[in-house]
Amino acid sequence: MKDVFISDSIVYVGVDDKNIDLFESQYVVPNGVSYNSYVILDDKITIMDTVDRRGTEGWLANLKETLGDKKPYYVVVSHLEPDHAGNLKTLLDLYPDIKVIGNPKTFTMIAQFFDVDLSDDRKVVVGEGDTVNLGTHTLQFFMAPLVHWPEVMVAYEQSEKILFSADGFGKFGALDADEPWEDEARRYFINIVGKYGVQVQNLLKKAATLDIQIICPLHGPILKENLGYYIGKYLTWSSYEPEEKGVVIACASIHGNTMIAAKKLAEILKAKGEKNVVLYDLARDDMPSAIADAYRYDRLVVAAASYDGGIFPCMETFLRKLKAKNFQKRTVGYIQNGTWAPCTAKQMQAIMGELKNITNVEPVVTIKSAMKEADVAQLEALADALMA
Ligand SMILES: Cc1cc2nc3c(=O)[nH]c(=O)nc-3n(C[C@H](O)[C@H](O)[C@H](O)COP(=O)(O)O)c2cc1C
């Protein structure tokens, strides 16, 4: 079992998954991911969520080591996503008397996911602010609808002041990943929860009324110190405000000529004193990282080759993903390239026009096939406009 100490009576029983190829079948996780699950040892022993079916064996071993012959009284289902509820039926079969704590939507979804016969005496239905006493511990539940599934709820353990935050404050990376919290937490949040900024803000308002000493999320490390830092990041991310000044240049190039222009713009920006300039090759680099950085910095340049009268597809995907994640409040510049009828700037601007509070900067830079010395002046002008 992972060497994670929370308190004498709250035990980590989660598992690391270092073999997964793609989390949610779309996110690379170079350092794996953890599926967190916890046991509260008290008169009524309570399991806080299960784990993905990929981790069944390790999780059951951790449970056995923690429980021995004792039987759990409750399982709390904060969230039905299979990476957390994947072993719910395993648990219900193993402990036929265990009671499930959830909200009305939880039970609707349980019936959709599992063929289990949950009689009324096995269901404990909770609503906003309800408490369940376990002995010396008391769990208080707060609904977090659409953070990022409709049935999500978080639980606050009153005696030890611990927030079981569901996917909130989660991070990619196994628990022993030696990496800072921020980048992989941002990539996780923006790509998975980013669409639901308003709902996250609502949850943060509720959390602000609680005295929280420890945050136990469903992925990534247990947060015990400096909680203001993590909560501050969540306040910024969920409000769609940039974290810092900087320019992301996202480039979609077929044969490399648009990339030459994008690299030249990066060089010009740096020469002019822009500290943070990050260039992404959308055809090759990790797109969720590009999306996360687009949120991180205050300015974005999109550079794309024309393709069949449209936008080279990886750029179109990038822009659609930004829209899906409610990208807003940014300054955007455009570089287009085409050999006979460059057409991407207008089309990229049309997609950006569907987003809130986007400020377009001029000039739009047009490259005809390959960048020439004469094009550098356009790039200089774009850099000046971005830095104005
Ligand atoms: C399949 C395909 C479709 C293309 N469609 C267009 C087009 O609709 N309009 C245009 O001006 N150029 C079009 N091009 C040409 C490229 O956009 C152009 O050569 C551009 O300079 C490529 O930039 P790159 O070197 O960054 O890939 C197309 C190229 C390919 C391979």
Give the DSSP per-residue string, 85-104.
Answer: HTTHHHHHHH-TTPEEEE-H
pLDDT band at 3 (very low <50, low <70, confident <90, very high): confident
pLDDT band at 388 (very low <50, low <70, confident <90, very high): very high
257, 260, 307: residue to mutate for ligand 1 pocket, most atoms within 8 A of CB:
307
Whether 38 contacts 12, CB under 8 Å: yes
Amino acid at 338: G
Query: Is residue 142's pLDDT more than 90?
Result: yes
Amino acid at 61: A
Average pLDDT value over all residues in the chain: 97
**At which residue do the structure tokens 């990208």 appear?**
327
DSSP secondary-structure letter at 170?
Answer: -
Task: Give me ligand 1 centre to Cα 334, in Å.
Answer: 16
Look at residue 2 in the predicted model and tell me its pLDDT: 59
- Cα 322-326-256 angle, rounded to 5 deg: 10
Same domain? For 233 and 249 the reply is no
Query: Which of 239, 256, 288 is where one domain is finished?
Result: 239
Same domain? For 294 and 212 the reply is no
Query: Is residue 193's pLDDT more than 60?
Result: yes
Same domain? For 251 and 283 the reply is yes
Same domain? For 169 and 185 the reply is yes
Same domain? For 38 and 103 the reply is yes
Same domain? For 217 and 260 the reply is no
Task: Give me ligand 1 centre to Cα 266, in Å.
Answer: 22
Q: What is the mean pLDDT of residues 311-340?
A: 98
Same domain? For 250 and 348 the reply is yes
Longest dimension (CA), the chain: 78
Provide CB contacts within 8 A for 293, sequence distance 6+: 248, 278, 280
Q: What is the mean pLDDT of residues 200-226?
A: 97
Query: Is residue 333's pLDDT more than 80?
Result: yes
**Kind and range of the H or E run holding 235:** helix 227-239
Query: Is residue 286's pLDDT more than 70?
Result: yes
Query: Is residue 304's pLDDT more than 80?
Result: yes
pLDDT band at 117 (very low <50, low <70, confident <90, very high): confident
Give the DSSP per-residue string, 119-161.
Answer: -GGGEEE--TT-EEE-SS-EEEEEE-TTSSSTT-EEEEETTTT
Same domain? For 229 and 129 the reply is yes
Instruction: State both tokens at 87.
Output: 């072993």
Query: Which of 239, 270, 291 is where one domain is finished?
Result: 239
Task: Give me ligand 1 centre to Cα 267, in Å.
Answer: 24
Task: Give me ligand 1 centre to Cα 288, in Å.
Answer: 25
Q: Report the half-sphere exposure of 252 (CA within 13 A, side-chain side).
A: 23
pLDDT band at 387 (very low <50, low <70, confident <90, very high): very high
Query: Is residue 223's pLDDT more than 90?
Result: yes
How far apart are the C-alpha atoms of 68 and 253, rounded to whole Å? Answer: 59
Q: Looking at 230-353, which runs of residues are DSSP E strands?
A: 244-252, 277-281, 297-307, 310-311, 330-338
Q: What is the pLDDT of residues 36-59, one digit of tens each?
A: 999 999 999 999 999 999 999 999
Residues in contact with ligand 1 (CB, 6 Å cut-off): 253-259, 305-309, 337-343, 369
How far apart are the C-alpha atoms of 361 and 384, rounded to whole Å? Answer: 10
Same domain? For 259 and 228 the reply is no
Closest residue (by CA) to atom 4 of ligand 1? Answer: 307
Look at residue 345 in the predicted model and tell me its pLDDT: 98
Q: What is the mean pLDDT of residues 306-329?
A: 97
**At which residue do the structure tokens 């510049």 appear?**
333
Whether 70 contacts 94, CB under 8 Å: no
Beta-bridged to residue 359, according to DSSP, are: 331
Domain that holds residue 111: 5-239
Query: Is residue 269's pLDDT more than 80?
Result: yes
Task: Give me ligand 1 centre to Cα 15, in Å.
Answer: 48
Closest residue (by CA) to atom 30 of ligand 1? Answer: 307
Q: What is the CATH number of the domain that holds 65?
A: 3.60.15.10
Please state, for a pLDDT cut of 70, what percent of the chain lies above it.
99
Q: What is the CATH number of the domain that holds 363?
A: 3.40.50.360
Same domain? For 105 and 218 the reply is yes
Look at residue 1 in the predicted model and tell me its pLDDT: 54
Q: What is the mean pLDDT of residues 75-91?
A: 97
Task: Look at the chain and report how many structural domains it folds into.
Answer: 2
251, 258, 339: residue to mutate for ligand 1 pocket, most atoms within 8 A of CB:
339
Same domain? For 115 and 218 the reply is yes
Same domain? For 186 and 272 the reply is no
Beta-bridged to residue 5, according to DSSP, are: 11
Query: Which of 186, 218, 239 is where one domain is finished?
Result: 239
